[in-house]
Structure 1
Amino acid sequence: MEEKSPSTGNIVFAYLVVYIVWGSTFFFIEKALHSFSPFVLGSIRFIIAGTLLMGYCGLKGYRIFNRADIKQAAFVGFLLLFVDMAAIIWAEQYISSGIVAILSAATAIWFIIFDKPKWKENFSSLPIVFGLLIGFGGVIMLFAEQIFTQSDQAEKSQNLIAMAVLICGTIAWTIGSLVSKYNQRSKSSVKKKQPSLNVMVKTAWQMVTAGCAFTIVALLNGEYALFDARNVSMESWGYIAYLALMGSILAFSSYIWLLQVRPATEVSTYAYVNPIVALILVHFFTNHDVTSLQVAGLVVVLFSVLLMNWNLYKDNRTLRALKHRKKLKRLKHMAPKSSIPRIVEVADFNEKERKKN
């Protein structure tokens, strides 16, 4: 029995969630910071998300415990969801969520620099090297805007520190992602004593780890001692609920599902849309100015991300199909009329053979 292919409506909905919801989380973090201190915000968000996702996995009957997988998930969750998210949340106290989103999109730079096993492949590719240099240029543009802004020296220094902290967070995200990637590969080459945990269970453990880490820091630095839930408005609780349910659970679940039914290179386009969504929300719903230099920085960074992923996109099956169609049209146009049916016949035969293989 053939597996039923997903409907177009479900795919479109999942893309809208990944594009818009993930892009909007930068904005809602900034709004939530009006009522929550940074580490309390992270603590509540990830404890809610981790608990609910773990409960869902339990109801689905997934295995919850596997010492090796939990250990890895805790390490990756600490880097990805605690260090990186802590940097994002803390930085948004001082700089626009739009700038944060643009700098987060520049994470592709660090993947090229820190992925040592792929250095030879990456640094021998002209588009990737060119994209790397352009990406650094875009980041420098955003730093330059803060340096030459008309704000007072103290505010300027604080903004630059926030941006530097954010860069450190994106580096932590990169390292955590690479550790997860290569650890998974090494596991697949070794005979497993017990089956690996479901990806949703691993994500739940990552969220629980982040929630615990945020909670410990919030207790140690006095944020929870100063926190009074009675002073938080319903609107602000709504922001937290949105970040936990929509941003952490629904968007991630949609992302994982899309990776199973669509090409990874196609799904990765969320990296181009998220900062645009964030910048639009900043422009229309906050008092931050979206400057021409920020827009230019966004364009430069996104163009650099495109170049750094060029080798992946050029081999994408959708692009190959489009090239195949263009080539066929050109052959039809150039060939005598009597030969056109034969061209179509050969093209169809080649396509069928590819599908068989």
Structure 2
Amino acid sequence: MKKPNFRVLILLAFFAIYVIWGSTYLLNKILVSEVAPLYLASIRFIIAGFLIFLIAKVLKYDITVSRRQFINTVIAGFFFLSYGNGVFVWALKYVDSGFAALLAATQPLFIVLLLRVLYGQKVLPKAIIGIVLGIFGMILLVNQQELNFYENSVIGILMIFTCILSWSYGSVFVSKNELPVNHFVSTGYQMITAGFSLLLGSLIAGETWIPPYQWSGSSQIAMLLLILFGSIVAFTSFNYLLKVVSPEKVATSAYVNPVIALILGWYFLDEGITIQSVVAAIILLTGVYFINRQKRLFKK
């Protein structure tokens, strides 16, 4: 009787990291059309962070951390959430959500390049193939006239690339430094500290703060979904899958999320999908596949 339940739980967890994470681009795009980007990101992470700690208390997790671990979570939270997510949400004002998701799929490529540049690690041949395909797909994706460009779209694209670089460096930083052993607790600290730094950034930037009860119904629902599902359910599912299936299978979310985002953006927001975008996506995601499928990316 336990096996079917176990399989169902795994399927639900994969649904979470595939579809829920893929839908966050659409949800953020809906919100940023009405709510200031840094302000909305701060609300999402502060509430989600406190909810995570509430859940951790109920599950009797130890939430105490050392001074070094706390500092490292603050740094990681900045690279992942304060800059990586906050600025990315801002860029969604000028870029289609599906297009942005495809750009975000290049993160594994950036991580490999950063490890090469910062630590001089020699990359294995299959990872090199992935890098070449990824760069070619990225150029093909950006260099097309049929895209729905808005005013300041070029700035939005450039800022998304800085966000990807921020996420990538954050991933390298986390792999090289001590964080809380419990990933759930670590994320809670990252979300709360990043949330308050985003709130400060919003204040400095002079954003208009519209209270949530004055938002439209669609924006309120989008924020609720982002907090409960995008920030808590999907992340918990991610950590669960890392314990029960191979990391390579979990990593497949990197090339499923953009497809989900493209479809949702096309269906709900009438975002265009060009033939060149499809070809670029196939090439780019193939490159990501070559990078992710390697258990070891570097020569010893």
Q: Could you say whether these structures have the same fold, taking a TM-score greater than 0.5 normalized by the shorter chain as the test?
A: yes
1:266-312 Cα offsets, whole Å, 9 max, x none, are 11111111000000111111122111121122111101111223433
Q: Structure 2: which amino acid aligns with 1:285?
A: F
Structure 1 match to 2:215? 232
Q: How far does the alpha carbon of each residue in 1:8-28 deviate from its partner, in whole angstroms, 9 at most, with x for none?
A: 111111101110000000011
Corresponding residue number in structure 2 for 1:340: none
Write out per-residue CA displacement over residues 77-136 of structure 1, whole angstroms, 9 at most, x where no aligned residue: 1101111102320111011000110000011111111114875441xx222212211211
Residue aligning to 1:21: 20
Who is 1:99 aligned against?
99
Partner of 2:173: 179
Q: Per-residue displacement from partner, 1:7-53 (whole Å, max 9, x unpaired)?
A: 11111111011100000000111011122110111011111101100
Match of 2:190 among 203, 206, 217: 206
Describe the shift of the 1:134–1:197 C-alpha distance in structure 2 as closer, same or farther (beyond 3 A): closer
Matched, 1:32 2:31: yes
Tell me the CA shift for residue 161 of structure 1: 1.1
2:258 pairs with 1:275: yes
- Indicate conservation of the 8 Å contact 2:38/2:87, yes or no: no
Amino acid at match of 2:207: E
Residue 131 of structure 2 corresponds to residue 132 of structure 1 = yes
Q: Work out the CA distance in 1 between the residues paired with 2:281 and 2:294.
A: 22
8 A contact 1:282–1:290 mirrored in 2: no
Q: Secondary structure at the match of 2:272?
A: coil
Percentage identity across paired residues of the two chains? 29
Q: Secondary structure at the match of 1:61?
A: coil
Aligned to 1:159: 153
Letter in structure 2 aligned against 1:100: A
Cα deviation for residue 256 of structure 1 reads 0.2
Q: CA deviation at 1:68?
A: 1.9
TM-score, normalised relative to structure 1? 0.77
Query: Structure 2 CA distance, aligned partners of 1:182 and 1:172?
Result: 15
Name the structure, 1 or 2, with higher relative contact order (CA <8 Å, separation 6+).
2
Question: Scaled by the length of structure 2, what TM-score is found?
Answer: 0.91
For 2:289, the aligned partner's letter is L
1:182 Cα offset (Å): 1.4
Q: Which amino acid aligns with 2:203?
A: L
- In structure 2, list runs of 5 or more residues that go unmatched: none
Q: Which has the higher Rg, Structure 1 or Structure 2?
A: 1
Structure 2 CA distance for aligned equivalents of residues 8 and 149 of structure 1? 43
Change (3 A) 1:240 1:150: closer
Paired amino acid for 1:87 = V
Shift of 1:236: 1.1
**Equivalent residue letter for 1:222:** G
Q: Structure 1 residues 313 and 303, CA, compared in 2 at 3 Å: closer, same or farther?
A: farther
Runs (5+) with no aligned partner, structure 1: 188-195, 315-357
SS of equivalent residue, structure 1 residue 8 = helix
Tell me: CA distance 1:68–1:126, structure 2 relative to 1, closer, same or farther (3 Å): same
Contact in 2 for aligned 1:65/1:197 (Cα 8 Å) = no
Cα separation, 1, equivalents of 2:293 and 2:136? 18
Could you say what secondary structure the match of 2:283 adopts?
A: helix
AA partner of residue 89 (structure 2)? I
Which residue identity is paired with 1:159? S
Q: How far apart, in 1, do the equivalents of 2:227 and 2:211 lie?
A: 20
Q: Does 1:245 align with 2:228?
A: yes
Instruction: Give the alignment of 1:1-357 within 5 angstroms.
Output: 7-66=6-65, 67-116=67-116, 119-122=120-123, 125-145=124-144, 148-149=145-146, 155=151, 158-184=152-178, 196-224=180-208, 226-312=209-295
How many residue pairs were aligned? 294
- C-alpha distance 288-74 of structure 1, shift in aligned 2 (>3 A): same
Any conservation in 1 of the 2:32–2:90 contact (CA below 8 Å)?
Answer: no
**Could you say which structure has the higher helix fraction?**
1
Contact 2:148 2:272 (8 Å CA) reproduced: no
For the 8 Å contact 1:6–1:261, the answer to whether it is kept is no
